[in-house]
Amino acid sequence: MIEADEFEALVCEHVPLVGGMGIKVAEVGDGTCSILLPFRDDFLRPGGTVTGPAMFGLADVALYGAVLSRIGRVELAVTTSMTINFLRRPAPADLIAEARLLKLGRRLAYGEVLIRSSGVDEPVAHATGTYSIPPVASGN
């Protein structure tokens, strides 16, 4: 219900913190969203690893894309909770987030996001989150 280029423009305009990080929406499917976060030196923290807030923002926006893929452009759908587990130290490289919805109800959507370093199969982080869907979008 939302195309990749439309979602990327929405993020850049309405989620400037993450949109300003240079994300590239690779694909928006039926309940899925894949986003690339190009590596930048200012994402590094001491120890040479990508900072957690950059990964958290990437996960949150990827899940937002998965939600909008099913309900359409509903800008007032908002995160109500999100948990991220950092699994291993990401290399200083592009990050890829792959989100998928696990449940879509009338008022809440729940999903997960895997984040990988470009060229590496094992995830560097796993996030789960819940989005609130406003009554207008859910038909109430």
The pLDDT, as a whole number, for residue 20 is 83
CB 96 within 8 A of CB 120: no
In the chain the domains, ranked by start, together with CATH numbers, are 4-138 (3.10.129.10)
Which pTM does this prediction carry?
A: 0.92
pLDDT digits over 14-46, tens only?
A: 887 887 888 999 999 999 999 999 999 888 888
pLDDT band for 72, please (50, 70, 90 cuts): very high
